[in-house]
A and B are shown apart, each in its own frame.
Chain A
């Protein structure tokens, strides 16, 4: 059971976040201010910390993050912020946070990013071969096959599938895909990612009984041998 620490001063927000995470079978602790938060972060053992960027009393998220990293603590930290400016994001990433989410955000986006953070920690050394059901991806030779049949994938399609396979059984959002596969940070107006996924789906799932690429409504996509729970 993953353990999360939430450091957030808005009690309603914190409560909803905690409730959402508990629904996902996680153990959650909420701290309403920076001093308490830092104490908890240092003394407890956490799988990830959700940190609000702006906290009262001048002891804000950035300072907590710096203090934490200064002590050599490497717990993954996801910063929530109402500040969307890019240099703000860069400042937080430089201070040692692992991901950054701008308010307002959908809970599903936070969930997907937290899962990705946990996964990153677990698989520090990437395996050269990824397998999901009968799908097999060789990252070194860039070869993809399913049920023994080679899939003819464009380089970008291979990268997209590899990203999904790395986060197997886990929902990834469209923004995460654009950031990780294309390495750009912006919000496309159209459903450009959906089109890429549907083409990939044509190559990966067509002709097979069991679909691997699933759409998670309103959130994103998931590569899994099981259809995701609604």
Chain B
């Protein structure tokens, strides 16, 4: 855990949340306070006015002498005697009757509701009073002391302050606790990532039960690590096979070059020609591997456009018909409708040429070979089927025939990269590739996403080369 708590997001969030809670509380308490005090003081004002009115009336009806008695009676009736105030003074503020004296002694000039400093039973306090001048010029002052209100105010303030302090403490300690909790959960993820970064790809984040954010994050990261490990294994496998498949022929070339030194004339010439072919073959393998890598990186998708499948198949058939015929093999096209796939014409032609070459190679190994290419559109998918009546592929080898350098029929010439590149091309097109043994024969099923609309104009005409 770092020393600065502010750097933790959990801490900041919890603290900000605590702050918001505190603010809400202060606002609520303030509204409550204002409402309460104003109601309380209004009632005090009302009572003071009513008492004043009554006493004024009393003075009118019974004279001031009776008023003094009435004041004494009011003060001694035991009701509100702690707080109520009633004073009669002359115009110069000389005390005549009542239970308090005005401080300091002065002439009052404002009447009606007001606050006044008073002294009662030797204690100074503030009173909320109504002041009226009697016809005789004497002043009648009635009200109550504000101690009760001040007392309530004080209690309210104290309680509020306590609540605020409690909330503050809870917010801060909660933030620290949250921070520690989140830190602990993140720490296990971070530690695993650190180990992975140091090269230990087998490490996984330990997953607690439940389905909270961290567990889900951990699960996603683990899935990503699985994928990375798989890819790394693939890369290792590929580099091993590449090393083997390029080093072996390179060694052969070197050895043959060495022996070529001792050969004479025509034999040397023949060996050199053979070597040239061998090196060219190496170049081909290299090109194919690079092409597969390029396809797998998915870079070429930007140039996709609508590809006219019937046209493409016609071109392929046109290209391979003589080869088929030469081998006593028939090549048949069976196209339903005008399917149009979204893709790269050159690449699709390459993939189909590969498949046709394979089919011809195996179908023609026996007399009466037959290769059939069927194409049709089914909804959003263009489906292509290539069938031959050759020997098929042993079932235990089916799963591996798209592996790089894997050759199901070792006696046939080839590099074992054809179907790998077909697979890469199909994957680039977001399509699928499936193989099945027929009895007798072999079937390749190729499914490609259909282009939204037929756009034959997008395909360059086949005669562009002339």
Nearest 9 interchain pairs by C-beta: A180-B465, A186-B350, A195-B322, A184-B349, A104-B283, A183-B465, A195-B323, A185-B346, A183-B464
B104 interface residue per 8 A CB criterion: no
Decide if B466 touches A84 in the complex (CB within 8 Å).
no
Chain B min CB distance to A68 (Å): 26
Query: Bound state CA distance, A183 and B349, in angstroms?
Result: 10
- Assess whether A182 is in contact with B319, with CB atoms less than 8 Å apart: yes
A190 interface contact, C-beta 8 A: yes
- As a 0/1 sequence over residues 314 to 327 of chain B, the CB contacts with chain A under 8 angstroms (1 = contact) are 01001110110010
Is A189 part of the contact surface with B, judged by Cβ < 8 Å?
yes
Chain A residue with Cβ nearest B290? A84
Partner of A179, one of B276, B287, B347, B465: B465
Residue of A nearest to B279 (CB): A104
Q: Which residues of B contact A106 (CB under 8 A)?
A: 276, 280
Cross-chain contact B283 with A186 (CB below 8 angstroms): no
Complex: A106 Cα to B299 Cα, angstroms: 28
Which residues in window 28-43 of B have CB below 8 A to A? none
Which of chain B's residues has its CB closest to A126's CB? B466
Residue contact A199 to B322, C-beta cutoff 8 Å:
yes
Question: Are A181 and B322 also in contact (CB < 8 A) when A84-B287, A102-B287, A186-B349 are?
Answer: no
* Chain B residues within an 8 Å CB radius of A199: 322
Q: How many residues belonging to A are interface residues under a CB distance threshold of 8 Å?
A: 30
Question: Could you give, for residues 97-116 of chain B, a 1 whenever the CB lies within 8 Å of some chain A CB and a 0 otherwise?
Answer: 00000000000000000000
| Contacting pair A218 B273 (CB below 8 A) | yes
A193-211 interface code vs B (CB 8 A; 1 in, 0 out): 0011001000000000000
Of B277, B291, B357, which contacts A190 at CB under 8 A? B357
For B279, the chain A residues whose CB sits under 8 A away are: 104
Asked whether A188 lies within 8 Å of B353 as measured between CB atoms, the reply is yes
With the chains together, A162 CA to B322 CA distance in Å?
19
Q: How many residues of B contact A (CB 8 A)?
A: 39
* Nearest-Cβ distance from residue A2 to partner chain B, whole angstroms: 25
Within 8 A of A (CB), among B409-428: 414, 418
* Least distance between B72 CB and chain A CB atoms (Å): 111
Contact A182 B323 (CB under 8 A): no
B287 to chain A: closest residue by CB: A84
Q: Mark B265-290, 1 if CB is under 8 A from A, else 0.
A: 00000000100110110011001001
Q: With contacts A86-B300, A195-B326 known, is A186 near B320, CB below 8 A?
A: no
Q: How far is the CA of A194 from the CA of B290 in the complex (A)?
A: 26
Interface string of A163-197 (1 = CB under 8 A from B): 10000000000000001111111111111100110
Instruction: Report the nearest A residue to B465, measured CB to CB.
Output: A180
B264 at the interface (CB under 8 A from A): no
B294 at the interface (CB under 8 A from A): yes
Per the 8 Å Cβ criterion, residues 291-331 of B in contact with A are 291, 294, 299-300, 303, 315, 318-320, 322-323, 326
